[in-house]
Amino acid sequence: MAKGRRTRRGTHDHGRGVLAGGVAGMMVGSVLATTAWAEDPAPSPEGTSATGAVAAPAGEEAGQTVRLAPVSVTATRNPIDPFLYPGMVTVVERESLQTLQSSTPADALKLVPGVAFTGGPRRSGEVPSLRGFTGADVVILVDGMRQNFGSGHDGRFFLDPAALSRVEVLRGSASSLYGSGGTGGVIDFRTPQVDDFLEPDQRFGFTVAGGVQSANKEWLGSLTTYARPMDGVDLLGQVSRRTSGSIRLGGGETLEDSDDSIVSALVKGGVELAPHHRLETSFSRFTNDAREPNNGQGVGGNDIVDKSIHNDNFRVAYLYNDPNNPWVNLDATAYYTTFSADELRLDSNGAGPVGELLTRDVNTLGMRLENRSRVGLGELGGVTFTYGVESYRDSQEGEASASSDRGGVPNADATFVGGFTQAEINLDSPLGLPGHLLLIPGARFDYYSLSSDLVDENTTESRVSPRFGVTYQPREWLMMFANYAEAFRAPTFNEMYLSGVHFQMPIGRGIVNRFVANPDLKPQTTRTVEVGGGLSFHDVITPRDEARVKVSHYRTWGEDFIDLAVNQPTPFADCSPFVRGACDGTTSSVNIPSARLWGTEVEAHYEMHRVRFGLGFSTIDGENTKTGEKLGILTPDTVTLDTALKLPEIDSVVGWRATLAGAFTKVNDPDEKRDAYQVHDLYYTYQPSEGPWQGARLDLGFDNVFDQEYSRVYTDATEVGRSFKMMLSYTQAW
């Protein structure tokens, strides 16, 4: 959990009115647009809304029912319709990523309810939060590989959205399947596969793309090649380059020292060793060279560094899947990830001299073995059992060339071993009742050990994380769900073994704030109850249209929440800076005995042959139950809207997105309040379905059209201002 930083205060009552008025106006406008086009039966071009609704490909019959949200494989580790899952999970597909023209992970997920990014507009500083949890409270996966990098002032993970094909976001307790860190949920990034590009009868192909963005003078170039040189063999390679300059912020100011240059590469291969036996391997590399403050999440100013971020991911997997064998569906994966963040000081305004090199290296070696067994229950339904083991080891080393040890970056190791089991019980007409019943009981046992050369003894703990979810669908159009889950998060080695200097202030005889280790830090545990329901209809306004809405309310009770306590006397008010050491302070990790968070999320989608509409809503609150103080990464009440008009006659889609945030007043410090804001985007896609330009695609975007000046919570920096985006790509396969 993190505390906020100083920022502007807001006009809060006005913000609530703006939010309510914007939502009402959007809803009315959507209905009018839908009605106006209801009688036109033309087919729609291929497209996926940023909220997950999928349009029928160009050339298909207009009478075909529009298909809504794709299946999730993260929620239960088995394919499941997100609508029927007893909880909230959102899938953002490749089409949405293209339409958004995402240049950061925050862009890719900005329409998902319950998801927020903090850390300012610099790419290297963005950190996701799910339902008030952030940092190590959120499991980050890339193709199933854990991304366990952690830093006080850098991002949580590093990747270029150009290398993504889809993202799944599972909100809520997930430790019963994913172990430590599942308190907030899981963000699962997936890279492209050959099947994303080639039809079954095609062998080779390529996609070349180039794009620009005006706010930071960014340009992007990428090339993806893919092949099936023979039956049972597939290969994919991708490389991209992205460079940018200083960022123009809302209101016209410029965020200096925000230049960066990114190179991303991906190589994947798969081979059918024998019928039903498949071997896969992949390697990806990400590098980002930037000039920015040591604290990339701040506004800027002093303490400038040349920052070099490097991330490698290597994965090998064996899969066995014989449809005629219900007992064995095996997935064995081993992976190795490396992160390095090197910073070369360009001035002496920080805690070290010019030319000092600061390094942080985090490596993870992991494996996961899981199997699925399916048991039929005759006319009653069936059961899918998912069970397996997982283990991974994190290692970190930190160094400062001027002083050997780097403050806040202890040399340490963490080892995790876990075993999990889950049953998905599908019952038709349960106990003679109408409809369908889904029961998901599950549990996971985890053991972990942390060690560092700063202490003599290892810290070891174990934990069992159970869950039980149920979805009842009495009618095809109605579902209700409830879920109870326990989760835990082990302390990170950065939290437990903090040491060295946190920061210095050149006042009087000098003020130093030092890290203090806390080897007695306890694991954070939570209990969450979530209830909700949904409606799903066909033929609502026109034949073969679809509409879905799903609502969830959750309450989380936690014990031993891990927080960072900064004890810093105020010079002149609390102490005299002219007495050496009198104003020195400390920073350490502490456990908050008890806390609770609660919130509500809504996702709604409507799609027909002419119109696509998506809506998201989220609200969250949290507090320390002993003191009443606010706790967690709280965010303003937020509505997201996405409306698109399909023009198949000219192979086009034109759309409008909006983020409407209310005033943020859930704070302990009045300086942490935020004004309400509205951010509006326009977008256009042209994708010829036939003729000489078939295979080409043009995406245009105009983000933050009205140049709204606003700040996300827990950062001082204003966000990106008005920005024109353009992406041109060409795909050919044969």
Q: In sequence order, what DSSP letters do the residues of 436-476 get, joined into one string?
A: EEEEEEEEEEEEEEEEETTSSS-EEEEEEEEEEEEEEEEET
Does the structure show a pLDDT above 60 at 344? yes
Phi, psi for 13 (deg, rounded to 5):
-65, -40
Of 617, 730, 657, nearest to 99 by C-alpha is: 657
Q: Is 112 left (phi over 0), alpha (psi -120 to 50) or beta?
A: beta
Task: State residue 53's pLDDT score.
Answer: 39
pLDDT above 70 as % of the chain: 89
Q: Is 135 left (phi over 0), alpha (psi -120 to 50) or beta?
A: left
Cα separation, 395 vs 450, whole angstroms: 10
Least confident segment among 27-31, 257-261, 662-666? 27-31
Strand partners, 227: 204, 235
Does the structure show a pLDDT above 90 at 729? yes
CB within 8 A of 643, min separation 6: which ones?
A: 26, 29, 30, 33, 611, 612, 613, 614, 655, 656, 657
Residue 50 — pLDDT band, cuts 50, 70, 90?
very low
Cα separation, 141 vs 344, whole angstroms: 29
Does the structure show a pLDDT above 60 at 35? no
Of 734, 733, 731, 732, nearest to 209 by C-alpha is: 731
Residues constituting the chain: 734
Does the structure show a pLDDT above 70 at 2? no
Cα separation, 285 vs 670, whole angstroms: 43
Q: What are the Cα distances from residue 548, in Å, to 29, 66, 185?
A: 19, 12, 23
- What SS3 class is residue 641? strand
In order of their start, the domains of the chain are 12-733 (2.40.170.20)
501 near 407, Cβ under 8 Å?
A: yes
Q: Which amino acid is at 17?
A: G
pLDDT digits (tens, 9 = 90+) for 498-515: 888 888 888 888 899 988
Cα separation, 49 vs 192, whole angstroms: 19
Task: State residue 69's pLDDT score.
Answer: 56
- How many other C-beta atoms lie within 10 A of the C-beta of residue 280? 18
Task: State residue 404's pLDDT score.
Answer: 64
- How many other C-beta atoms lie within 10 A of the C-beta of residue 354? 12
- What SS3 class is residue 512? strand
For the residues 721-733, what does the mean pLDDT come to? 97
Label each residue of 58-107 as H, E or C: CCCCCCCCCCCCCCECCCCCCCECCCCCCCEEEEEEHHHHHHHCCCCHHH
For the residues 553-564, what does the mean pLDDT come to? 94
Phi, psi for 140 (deg, rounded to 5):
-110, 125
pTM: 0.90
For the residues 555-580, what does the mean pLDDT come to? 93
Give the residue with greater pLDDT, 504 vs 9: 504
